[in-house]
Amino acid sequence: MPVCVRLRLAPVARFSAGLGGALALLLGTPTLPATAQLWSHAAAKPAATKPVPPLARAPEPPADPPAVRTKLFQAAALANMFKDSEALGVYQEVLKINSQHYLALWQAAVLSVKIGARYSDETRKSAYFDAARQYADRALALRPEAGESNYAVALALFSQATLYKAGARLEAFRDLRSHVYLATEHRPDLAEAWQLRGRWQYRVAHYNLLERLYSKLVLGGVPDGGDSREAMDDLEKALALAPQSLPLYYDLARMYKYQGRRRRAIATLEAAQKIPPITSEDLVILRSCSKLLPPLLRADARRQRQRARVGKKVKPPVEALPVNTSSPTLRVAIPLDTANKKP
């Protein structure tokens, strides 16, 4: 009389394969005599698996109502006419209608920094920079990985740092790192983001001894990424995106000067002379470029005379960098670090 042998299966281990199916493994099955190995493979039922649900997609934001769209167009037009205070007021009206409007939030942050940078009074500066930080934080809460929100936070932090004392300023520069890199990663077409990243890299690269010691002992170390060459590369990328931006020429020329690239600085400053100023800030920067150029020209002339005396080939006069007049102009002025006049 045949003996019925019931096989006892150990718990089934399930794992994900490339095709997403669940495979069952028989674990710990004891060795059975040949008469007991009459198990039919066809009779074995595969373990029941649940269908994998499709990945959930983030819901699309609802379309703006006509009244909001009208105000957004109005704000953009005012900003293009350099009426920053009026544009900020319109964005604030949009936020009264929809307090979580992403575009209005990050644009309000950028405009607040622009307006605050014009004041010499630190109280007014601080008020605008603090408001910019609040707008930027709200935008970041809506889209933590977006390039615009991270740029807005970085810009507000950088601006606030110019008013802080040494310890708080170094803490702000530490917190800036992730935001400037996310901004350029997700919005590589944003010239302002590359400019800010370059200035941050240059500033960190030129920490003095006390700043480095404080960062290591109190803040967990000097932020990674501070490098003068990368800073110049980033500003060159920004200038390629916005070749009509006088602040970029000035920042880049100063970096070239401090790094001993005199002739490159001369070419950059001479190119800046070809750009007509549009705003009062542009006029101030153009005058600064004009003051920076003559000493560099005299130093280069001395250098060429020295080369001639020792029999070396004299380099030809420096040619200005070509200027693309059809590209957009950078519209954000980043405040200088008053504690360190380098970019």
What pLDDT, in 10s, does the model give residues 1-33?
Answer: 444 434 343 443 333 444 344 333 333 444 444
List Cβ neighbours of 287 (8 Å cut-off, separation of 6 or more): none
- Asked if 120 and 148 touch (Cβ cutoff 8 Å), the reply is no
**pLDDT value for 307:** 79
Over the stretch 115-135, which tens digit does the pLDDT of each residue have? Answer: 999 999 999 999 999 999 999
Q: Regarding predicted confidence, which is higher, 331 or 145?
A: 145
Q: Kindly list the distances between the CA atom of residue 227 and the CA atoms of 197, 215, 245, 251, 256, in Å, as whole numbers in the listed order.
A: 11, 16, 23, 15, 13
**Residue 16's beta-bridge partner residues?**
22
Residue 129: CB atoms within 10 Å: 26
**pLDDT value for 303:** 86
Backbone φ and ψ for 39, nearest 5 degrees, come out as -65, 130
Residue 80, token pair as written in the block: 């293009």
Cα dihedral sign, 243-248-249-253: negative
Query: pLDDT tier at 312 (50, 70, 90 boundaries)?
Result: confident
State the average pLDDT over residues 180-188. 97
Mean per-residue pLDDT of the chain: 82
Q: Does the pTM exceed 0.95?
A: no
Distance CA 157, CA 151 (A): 10
Query: pLDDT tier at 136 (50, 70, 90 boundaries)?
Result: very high
Q: How many residues does the chain have?
A: 343
Distance CA 262, CA 266 (A): 6
> How many whole angstroms from its chain centre is CA 159?
14
